[in-house]
Structure 1
């Protein structure tokens, strides 16, 4: 059964298989990144953070434990339903399209773990930057944590199989029309599934052009979760701080 890949992220991210495939994500590394980032930004105590495309809320939950007032939003109804079990006075989750402003003011808006560049409509990249801008208070910071496309393309593994439990996920990776594409196929309980991930291979220069058009200012660029200097050829991440 081939799933409809129109707005692929809306269907793929809403399946249980997405979370099964990526269940081994490094929570310790994510926590260290949040520690480093919030310290670097010197956010106010009890500061308000918007976590855009929060998934099941792993970053939001940890940020809340640090004392911040956190709102996590995502397009995936299933992910938000799951995240809501963790809600408390200072942690809230809502279904929301990040291309549009959330219509509140935050000390920081985080878009983490390559949750950008999925859009079918090119203008939605700019719309998202503008939405982040509009949701920041006067002293607020925007943060986009993206892959370093140059590094990813240079080190692309064309094909592999990842086995999780009793499911063999066959993964094929390639570059097509400026997108880094991953085809994922697997069989579960006698049923065949195929999904595709497509992320625009945006570079620092691409983001700089978007920031200029949106009227925001790039303050700093880091290349990994320890906030070390960005190097185009060797950094795994492209972490941009702007306001």
Structure 2
């Protein structure tokens, strides 16, 4: 049986099965969010945007189509290799660990679709926030789009089987030790696979405490991709704007 090694995200995100399981993600919703957030931030037409933990670059590609100068960064070499097929003079991709700041400064840094809270050491969350802050230009904005932990825990589906491309993904979800855990088991071509997604159950209060320690100013919060008000128990997302 193949299992993840080292950091779960480094191995799971680099497999083709990750992209198979999540192939039905809503591109229209993602584009609506990018439209709304760039308008809200009132970014200049030629703004430099960093899409941090960009995966295969679906947000990056759309942002470049809006005219921005976009860099997509991700730890997964396979994802960056795939994303790079869409590169052009205003769209670039690079393999990068989000705990490290960029020398280049950006007008906006987007960390989207719960791409935070993966690390084994809690201190790495603070390191990442500081790296984002240090990579912003003087007037730049950071955006973190995270799950709303309270809503997720209250609506957790303990078990399900999701069939995609002929593969039955057996998924278990639970909340333990301040983490949301998703265990994924499946078989393909005679081989059994097991992967685990493990994300810290970070609340708005947790982020506020870390941002305060990092010298980051939280400007606004939203509860969904239409930028509606954040409600602690009802909102599906926790979207934070900071600088």
Fold conserved (TM > 0.5)?
Answer: yes
**Distance in 1 separating the partners of 2:189 and 2:2:** 15
Alignment partner, residue 82 of structure 1: 82
Q: Where do 5+ consecutive residues of structure 1 fail to align?
A: none
Aligned Cα root-mean-square deviation (Å): 0.6
**Distance in 1 separating the partners of 2:123 and 2:6:** 17
Alignment partner, residue 92 of structure 1: 92
Are residues 1:70 and 2:64 paired? no
**Distance in 1 separating the partners of 2:82 and 2:3:** 23
Deviation at 1:121, TM superposition (A): 1.5
What SS is found at the alignment partner of 1:219? Answer: strand
Alignment partner, residue 52 of structure 1: 52
Residue correspondences, number: 243
Where does 1:1-243 land on structure 2 (aligned, <5 Å)?
1-243=1-243
What TM-score do you get using the length of structure 1 for normalisation? 0.99
What SS is found at the alignment partner of 1:24? Answer: coil
**Distance in 2 separating the partners of 1:48 and 1:34:** 14
Deviation at 1:165, TM superposition (A): 1.6
**Distance in 2 separating the partners of 1:223 and 1:5:** 34
What TM-score do you get using the length of structure 2 for normalisation? 0.99
Q: Is the 2:4–2:196 Cα contact (8 Å) retained in structure 1?
A: no
Deviation at 1:4, TM superposition (A): 3.2
Deviation at 1:128, TM superposition (A): 0.7
Q: Where do 5+ consecutive residues of structure 2 fail to align?
A: none
**Distance in 1 separating the partners of 2:128 and 2:92:** 21
**Distance in 2 separating the partners of 1:5 and 1:154:** 30
**Distance in 2 separating the partners of 1:5 and 1:117:** 18
What SS is found at the alignment partner of 2:56? Answer: coil
Deviation at 1:5, TM superposition (A): 4.2
Q: Is the 1:5–1:196 Cα contact (8 Å) retained in structure 2?
A: no
What SS is found at the alignment partner of 1:118? Answer: coil
Q: After superposition, give the CA deviation of every residue in 1:152-205 in whole Å (9 maximum; x if it has no partner).
A: 001000000000021000000001111000000000011100000000000000
What SS is found at the alignment partner of 1:32? Answer: helix
Q: Which runs of 4+ in 1 moved over 2 A?
A: none
Q: Is the 2:4–2:194 Cα contact (8 Å) retained in structure 1?
A: no
Q: Is the 1:5–1:195 Cα contact (8 Å) retained in structure 2?
A: no
